[in-house]
Amino acid sequence: MSTYKSRKDVPEHEKWDLTDLYADEQAWQADVDECYQLADTLSQFDGAIQDAKSLLDFLETQEKLSFTLRKVFAYTMFLSDIDTRDAHAQKLSAKATQLSVKVSESTSFFMPFLLSLSEETLRAYISAEKKLAYFEDELWKSFRFKKHVLTKEKEELLSQLGATFQAPGDTYNMLNNADIQFGVVTDDNGQQVQLTRGMYSKLIEDEDRNKRKEAYKAYYKPYVELNNTIATTLSAEIKTNVTLAKVRQYESALHKALFADNIEQSVYDQLIDAAKANIEPLHEYARLRKQKLGLDELRQYDLNAPIVPGVKAEISYEEAYETMLKALKPLGDDYIAKLKEFKEKRYIDVRETPGKRSGAYNMGVYGVHPFVLLNHHDDLNSLFTLVHEMGHAMHSYYSSKYQPQITANYRIFVAEVASTVNEVLLINYLLKETSDKRMRAYLLNHFIEQFRGTFFTQVMFADFEKQTHERAEAGEPLNAESLNELYEQLFRTYNGPDIVFDDEVKYGWSRIPHFYRAFYVYQYATGFASAIKIATAILDGEEGALDAYMTFLQSGSSDEPLELLKKAGVDLTTPEPVQAAMARFSALVEELKQL
């Protein structure tokens, strides 16, 4: 059984054990009180850090607060996500948010203070106090930003304008989540009902083409109607990014976005170039899709329709977990033993219940363990989601086990590597185990679709972001017409000449919330390509590949992301990893064609 009418009906061993965080609410409240006391202590350091000892005292207190605050926040988040309708959980969540505002205020002075120091003074502090060695790397990482920090007065002014800078993104989010009204579609009873996002994701994969088309038109309706408004919000967001980059003396908005992770721009450019140079297999896949669906014209609403229909495997949660353990065997005994433990010790909240947050995630809580939220249905997609999230969870587990608190959290740039390595190992295992031709075709198609969504589509988005920001930097207008034209041109380049364009295609950019977090999406593609290379090396039994990967999982953020990946055998400063992933994609398309 995969859906329950009440959380009470779910077996205990398929629910989180939140007593691992707090025995009861009283214990949680005690930590909240302690956080307030620590925040008050931290605010007293403002203007009082005069030497190595006071710098150390501040940093140690801040780390202690950070440790407790994460637990406090995690507890309320998990309670809310179990049932988003729970008023008491919402109340605790509001308390945690209030606390985090207080903490943020109490430490806001520190970064301007640190960056006001001379390099000589910071070195003198570090050599005067042995215990500062623990914080040294993080201090120098922060210190890299010194040349991009303005005078105290200007920084205060920018700080006061923070809400203004966030306005385009806030406006878009409100518009996209609260105000947008999709068109109507016909339900199974022949009634006209308003489309929802949840309905759309199902209908766009329906085998009935008329249903797909109706859902597609209804989904894009508000984006077409609000085209000028959304163009104004995105244009404002891009101009804000460009202006702040200029004010802070970065070479460009892209340079500013890559600076924090120490990523060279060549990595971003090479990704786009390599994808475009190897785009033909994606076009070939579009032709295959058109042929398999028996269409005279392939349109955007045909891109998610199943081309291997009718393959519906029922896989219970128990069976899914066992399959995962077998598929991930190449990662070694310790990895498998820990995965078994995660299930036994109730680190996973498995079932969909009324009010539960949709989707799936992993959250590692340092000093406790990872917590994984699922909405498991007994099907193949849920098996892939399980394997994906457990990749994140094991990355969190190993990083927390082998790293001190300061470097235990891995960066976004490498976050999708462990989850995708697991998915590649699962696909490989399932393909090896199946003798059914239709199931094999279904699995190949599933993997190809992952490539299309996680790699090619994200690269297309990254290309769009780069070109829109460059236009703004050159003083060219960004309006509905220019954004539509650019997106349509990129969609054609990436998806190929076999797609007949409906008018809606060019509005695709206006439904992407990630564009309000500039230059973020390219990391999905680099992470995916890195994972393909790592998983292939492990499966091919390359000497040292598994040890290098396990070291990567244990490394947290102890080095820069590009360096961590190099140690795992992936050098993203060269086009080779992306080209290798492209070769794998080409082989998948070729095999699916043969089948």
Reported residue count of the chain is 595
> Residue 595 has what pLDDT?
85
Q: Which residues are catalytic, by number?
A: 389
Distances (CA, A) of 94 to 72, 80, 89, 90: 12, 11, 9, 6
Mean pLDDT of 452-473: 97
Model confidence at 591: pLDDT above 60: yes
Contacts within 8 Å (CB) and 24+ apart, 48-53: 49/113, 51/125, 51/128, 52/124, 52/125, 52/126, 52/128, 52/129, 52/132, 53/129
Tell me which fold the domain 10-164 belongs to. Answer: Butyryl-CoA Dehydrogenase, subunit A; domain 3 (1.20.140)
Report the distance separating Cα 324 and Cα 100, nearest Å: 38
**Phi and psi for 569 in degrees, rounded to 5?**
95, 15
> Residue 483 has what pLDDT?
98
Q: Residue 367's closest CA among 71, 60, 26?
A: 71
Model confidence at 2: pLDDT above 60: no
Cβ–Cβ < 8 Å for 389, 372:
yes
Helix, strand, coil percentages in the chain from 3-state DSSP, rounded to 5: 70, 5, 25
Mean pLDDT of 388-411: 97
Cβ–Cβ < 8 Å for 132, 55:
yes
How many Cα atoms within 13 Å fall on the side-chain side of residue 534? 35
pLDDT one-digit tens code per residue, 355-378: 898 889 999 999 999 999 999 988
> Residue 333 has what pLDDT?
97
Helix (H, G, I), strand (E, B) or coil at 370: strand
pLDDT one-digit tens code per residue, 516-541: 999 999 999 999 999 999 999 999 99
Report the distance separating Cα 82 and Cα 361, nearest Å: 13
pLDDT one-digit tens code per residue, 295-347: 999 999 999 999 987 677 789 999 999 999 999 999 999 999 999 999 999 99
Model confidence at 152: pLDDT above 80: no
pLDDT one-digit tens code per residue, 220-249: 999 999 999 999 999 999 999 999 999 999
Model confidence at 86: pLDDT above 70: yes
Helix (H, G, I), strand (E, B) or coil at 298: strand
pLDDT one-digit tens code per residue, 474-497: 999 999 999 999 999 999 999 999
Distances (CA, A) of 350 to 73, 86, 371: 21, 19, 11
Of residues 159 and 585, the one with the higher pLDDT is 585
Report the distance separating Cα 551 and Cα 526, nearest Å: 19
User: In the chain, pLDDT over 90 holds for what percent of residues?
Assistant: 87
- Output b/e per residue, 547-586; b: 16+ Cβ within 10 A: ebbbebbbbbbbbebbebbbebbbebeebebbbbbbebbb
Instruction: Provide the mean pLDDT of the chain.
Output: 94
Distances (CA, A) of 74 to 26, 71, 204, 464: 16, 5, 35, 35
Model confidence at 412: pLDDT above 60: yes
Mean pLDDT of 508-513: 96
> Residue 300 has what pLDDT?
97
Cβ–Cβ < 8 Å for 21, 30:
no
Cβ–Cβ < 8 Å for 458, 578:
no
Torsion angle, alpha carbons of 91, 96, 102, 107, to 10: -170
Model confidence at 3: pLDDT above 70: no
pLDDT one-digit tens code per residue, 207-228: 999 999 999 999 999 999 999 9
Model confidence at 1: pLDDT above 60: no
pLDDT one-digit tens code per residue, 430-449: 999 998 899 999 999 999 99
> Residue 161 has what pLDDT?
87
> Residue 160 has what pLDDT?
83
Cα-based angle 77, 80, 82 (whole degrees, multiple of 5) = 110
